[in-house]
Amino acid sequence: MTWDRIALRGAIAGLALALGSAAIADTIVVRASGPSAKNYPPGRKLAESGALALQPGDVVTLLDAKGTRTLRGPGNFNVAAANAAPAGGVALAALLDTKRVRRARTGAVRGGVGQPGTPRRPNLWLADVATPGALCVADPATLKLWRADTTRAATVQIAGGGAQATASFAAGEAIAAWPAALPVRDGASYRVSADGHPAEIRVALIDAGTAGMDTIASTLIAHGCTAQLDLLVDAAAPADTAAKD
C-alpha cells in the first residue's frame, strides 16, 4: 500500500469523524439567487429551528458539515428538515486534504471534481494559474500551482512584492511547485501569467487543518475565495432534493 493511499484513507476517516459531529455544526447559506437572494447572503448562518420562505424563482443552497442541499421556491422550508444528506467518497476527501498537497508531485493529475470533460482542481488548496481573485492558502510552505491544459510544456511567470520567479510544467504535467524564491505571504498579491494570460491572485492564509466543511466554507466566504467555495459546494452536492413544511 502506497503512502498516498494510506494518507487518503486517513483523510476519509477524518471526514467521517467530522460528519459524525454534524448535529452541532452550523448550517450556512453558500449560494442564493432570485427575488429573495438579498435575504440569504452567502455566509449567513441559519438556526436549526429556523425556516426559509422562498418565492418563485428563488434558489438557495445550504451547507453544513455533511454536505449541501439546494432549495427551490416557492415554498417554506425548515432548516432542520433541509439538512444535507451525507456527502463523502474519495474525491471529496482528496479535495479537502491539506496533507495530500504536501506529497503532490509534478505529474499528471487526471479527473477531479465537476462535470465530465471539465478539468477542475483535484485539491482545494492548489492555485489555479488561470483563476484570478482571492486564494485561500492552508499551508504557504507547500503551495502548488495547477493547470487544466496539460497538452504541452509551459512556463508560468509570477511577480509580486517587487520580485519575480518562474514555474515550469512539462508536457503532461498538471502540478508544479510554487517557486521558493517568491515566498507566499498573507495579504500579498501575485500576478501569475500563463500562456500570455495574466491572473491577479490575492493570498489569504487560513487555518484549515482540522476544520469541517461548514467552517471551511465560512472561512472561504469571509476571505472572498469564491472559486474555491464553488469547488467545495459542487463537490459536496448530493442528489438535488428539498424538504418542505
Instruction: Let me know: does 160 contact 152? Beta carbons within 8 Å.
Output: no
pTM over 0.85: no
Q: For residue 74, is the peptide bond before it cis, meaning its omega torsion is within 30 degrees of 0?
A: yes
Hey, which CATH number is domain 106-225, 2.60.40, 1.10.3470, 2.40.160, 2.30.30? 2.60.40
Amino acid 115: pLDDT: 52
pLDDT in tens, 208-240: 776 788 999 999 999 999 999 999 999 888 744
Amino acid 101: pLDDT: 60
pLDDT in tens, 141-160: 999 999 999 999 999 999 99
pLDDT in tens, 2-27: 434 434 444 444 444 444 444 456 89
Domain spans, the chain: 3-87+228-235, 106-225
Q: Which residues pair with 39 in a beta bridge?
A: none
> DSSP H helical segments within 104-225, as ranges?
213-222
Amino acid 74: pLDDT: 97
